[in-house]
Structure 1
């Protein structure tokens, strides 16, 4: 009886051990399977992460290259602009210097012209005025008439260098006696008074009127010389040269022609 009990216990113990071993074997296989799946998933994730990282690195490198090239181009453009700005600044300074030098030369030129012509004109200008101031009265004119007396008054005022009063007298004569035989004398005297008063533009216009309305008057050469003087004072040197050349060509024997020749020579000697 005892032997049977011992045998039965051994058999039961063996069965229990077999069941436990089978269960343990089953649990180990499932665990390995889970571990393999986990490793596979981790490997897949690592590969995906590596791919993303590689792509990000590639894109970052491309961006860095673009930025680097862009900065290099920008720097090159900045340097080019700096050089262009420096060049333009230099040209502007040179242009300003040339303008100032030209203005100074022009100022010196006109100063020199004025000084030379003042020396040349001191006596000749007074001589040029004499034909108008000492014009002989036509036989048909009454020297006691208001017309003649007004002209004599204007001439006297001009000789006394009372140019404003002379201007008013000549102006009144021209307006009151437009058809007078002394009209050319009065117009010339009016222009000369304007020149003496430094109203050069008006002097030119007045003497031009004499040339247009009294082309045969012996005062035409004097009027042209007075016009040239006014043009010089206004800085119209080319115009003055032309007026003097015309005077010399048209009236080679005029009393004022030598003065015109000297004046023209002085102008042409100045560059």
Structure 2
């Protein structure tokens, strides 16, 4: 019994030592497993933190991108609005230029119209039967209209037209010529006494007029029509003395030869 007891103790100690060793090994393994779990947790947390940080950064960048797009859209709208305003201003400017051009044209036309109306009343130089003088447009028109009627052979109308002209323009440069044609119209209408008055008025007012020799010859013709041969002869003689180089003087010589 006593011999077996130390062995039992030995076995018991060994067993205890083995158990302790097992416990020690098991504890170390458990501790090692515990350390591995903490590192994994830390790694997972770090990954989560990185993910959260990246997610936040992505969210922030996404928000900034959205804001940037919104800003770009606003800027684009402003640019389009400016372009529209510029086009409107360009159109308004073009319209103003057209309006200005039209106003200038109207002003020019009005000025020309005023000038033309003024010219209707401004005297202008004319030449009639070799005489130069200034005549108002209305005066010129009146003389030319009366002469046109005479040339058409309407002697009654011509007599009235020239008679009215002489009354209206007694100081006109057209007066000698008007008296000449008035006398001729009266002669054509057989108003010989009236014609003599008109021709003598011409000779009195303008003895050097180009029509004066013809007027003197016409007076002699009127006197001959009135059967006043004595007066006609004297008129022809005075004509040859006053205008010896004229064609009327040559005609007067022929008339004197036939005059009884």
TM-score by length of 2: 0.48
Structure of higher RCO (CA pairs closer than 8 Å, 6+ residues apart): 1
TM-score by length of 1: 0.46
Q: Larger C-alpha radius of gyration, 1 or 2?
A: 2
